[in-house]
Amino acid sequence: MVDTKFSVSVHLLTSLAYNSDRLMSSDELALGMKTNPSFVRKLIVNLSNAGLVESVRGKTGGVRLATSPEQITLDRVYEAVAEHKVICVPEKSAYKPCPVSCAMGGILTKISDDIERNTRERLSKTNLKDLVQSVTKIDIS
């Protein structure tokens, strides 16, 4: 199953950065992402725990970025919401009579670690300000 937490979190944070002049509700954010508000609220908890967003309670409350968009890089978002590596290596014991079985755990772990390192390195080079600058303003009137 494909995990959408990272991509939805990036969308959520980009929406908050784009609308930085106001608080946004989880219902409003979910509508813009065409997803369930309860899913958005769960992500907000993770993002809040990572210090990326802050919630304001009450009737007129909502969510906003906890810091400037320039300071929020995508590797921080990934770290906040990813539950596992891009490629997960099964933790099964090797079948001792088979050399391939004995070697495969180490081979796949190296590949997985390299991909993870490269992914995080690439994500660290992009921040929310970069993403907001890529959003084209539209006239909804």
Q: Which domain holds residue 107?
A: 5-133
Question: Is 74 domain-assigned?
Answer: yes
Question: Is 79 domain-assigned?
Answer: yes
What confidence score (pLDDT) does residue 139 get?
A: 65
Query: What token pair was written down for 96?
Result: 């001792």
What confidence score (pLDDT) does residue 1 get?
A: 46
Question: Is 138 domain-assigned?
Answer: no
Place of tokens 């409003």: 28
Instruction: Write down the H helix ranges in the chain.
Output: 5-18, 26-33, 37-49, 74-81, 99-123, 128-133
**pLDDT per residue as tens, the chain (141 positions):** 467 899 999 999 999 999 999 999 999 999 999 999 999 999 999 999 999 999 998 888 999 999 999 999 999 999 999 887 778 888 888 999 999 999 999 999 999 999 999 999 999 999 999 999 999 776 665
CA-closest candidate to residue 11, choices 58, 77, 63: 77
Residues 119 and 74: their CA atoms lie apart, in Å, by: 10
CA-closest candidate to residue 82, choices 20, 4, 1: 4
Q: The domain spanning residue 73 has which CATH number?
A: 1.10.10.10
Question: Is 140 domain-assigned?
Answer: no
CA R_g for the chain: 19
Counting the structural domains of the chain, the total is 1
